[in-house]
Amino acid sequence: MGNELEKKKKDTIWVAKNLFQRNKVSGSSANISFRDGDKVYISATNTCFGTLEEEDFSVLDLDGKHLDGPKPSKEFPLHLFMYSKDSRNGAVIHTHSFYSTLWSCLKHEDKRDLIPSHTPYLDMKLGKITLVEYAAPGTKELFDNFCSAMNEGNGYLLKNHGPIVAAEDVLKAFYALEELEESSKIAWHLRNERI
């Protein structure tokens, strides 16, 4: 069990640093977590993906009780909701990546299927993307809005804020997040074109 936990930590740190190096996150504005049994390891408040280390994880139980480590990201409830909605989810990533955030700022008629399927890969990796109405980061209103928007999918755009995705493990969450960002980029550039 110890080796599995260490692998999850190493994979999560690799994903965080990779996202930082590729300019998909900046400063301390993102958060990442993984589940290990009945515990959730989430990046602590004010941590930077570019310098994330093993001691930068806060440990919570599935009810949000702080068990160990530094203070968790204020958006930890979003992560817990993703774990509680589907027991297969083993990792959650929330960023403010550029094109996904741009796309979240537009007005959308269909809030349950935000991003056009210009390529097949978003549907293959993540499925339909749902919009979560705006509320200030870390607030009860945001958490309530997120709960109201939750459906069977694992990909969401927080309005004027950024994407949050869940998957079976952190590498699959990373791949899904990258596809969401790429699909948002394609949609942004083609938004006034007829395909």
Segments of the chain scoring below 50 in pLDDT: none
Q: Where are the domains of the chain?
A: 2-190
pLDDT of residue 194: 59
Q: Is 143 helix (H, G, I), strand (E, B) or coil?
A: helix
pLDDT of residue 195: 52
Per residue in 176-188, pLDDT (tens digit) is 999 999 999 999 9
Per residue in 9-36, pLDDT (tens digit) is 999 999 999 999 999 998 888 999 999 9
DSSP string of 41-88? EEEBTT--GGG--GGGEEEEETT--EEESSPBPTTHHHHHHHHHH-TT
Return the amino acid letter for 191. Answer: R
Q: Which CATH number fits domain 2-190: 3.40.630.30, 3.40.50.10300, 3.40.50.720, 3.40.225.10?
A: 3.40.225.10
Residues 16 and 49: beta-carbon distance below 8 Å: yes
Measuring CA to CA, which residue among 111, 106, 188 is closest to residue 146?
Answer: 111
Distance CA 112, CA 105 (A): 15
DSSP string of 159-175? TTTEEEEEESSHHHHHH
Q: How many CA atoms lie within 13 A of 44 on its CB side?
A: 16
Total-model pTM = 0.95
Would you please indicate which residues are annotated as catalytic (active-site) residues? Answer: 75, 121
CB-count exposure of residue 73 (10 Å: 0-12, 13-18, 19+): buried
Q: Is 11 helix (H, G, I), strand (E, B) or coil?
A: helix
Q: Please, which residues have CB within 8 angstroms of residue 170's CB and are 6 or more apart in sequence? A: 8, 11, 12, 15, 32, 34, 90, 91, 93
Sign of the CA dihedral with 30 first, then 134, 86, and 62 last = positive
Measuring CA to CA, which residue among 72, 54, 55 is closest to residue 63?
Answer: 72
Return the amino acid letter for 79. Answer: H
Distance CA 78, CA 33 (A): 11
